[in-house]
Amino acid sequence: MTDQSRVNRAIARVDVLRSRMDSLGRCYDLIAQLTQCTELQRFEADRKIAAARAKGEDRQRRQVLRDIENVRGMVSAAGEFQALLKEVIDRLSAQPTAAHKEAA
């Protein structure tokens, strides 16, 4: 026996998280670009769901599994993005600025 009200509450919580994610705008877009493979896998999962003509709970289950994998890929890409930003900051911090060059 399933608990549809529990599923509906979970979906509502996911919608709140999705709104927060959407507020990140350009930053989210940059991270998504780092994870093109994940985006393609999500598209493939969507096609499989459509091809299976999944309905109701089966469709929801498949979508949740698809979304879990997508989030895992985005988390990984966010870590890569963070490491890239740190590397850029470190490189820029190590370079003398024009003001430092003039003072020398």
Listed by start position, the domains of the chain span 26-95
Angle at 46 between CA 44 and CA 51, to 5 degrees: 95
Tokens read off for 68: 């879990």
Please determine, for residue 8, whether its predicted confidence score (pLDDT) is greater than 80: no
User: Mean of the pLDDT values across residues 98-102?
Assistant: 58
Confidence label for 2 from pLDDT (cuts 50, 70 and 90) = low
pLDDT of residue 1: 46
Model confidence pLDDT, tens digit, residues 64-99: 888 888 888 888 888 988 999 999 999 988 877 655
Model confidence pLDDT, tens digit, residues 37-65: 888 888 999 999 999 998 988 888 888 88
Looking at per-residue confidence, does 2 or 71 come out higher?
71
Give every CB contact of residue 37 below 8 A, 6+ residues apart in sequence.
73
Q: What is the pTM of this model?
A: 0.68
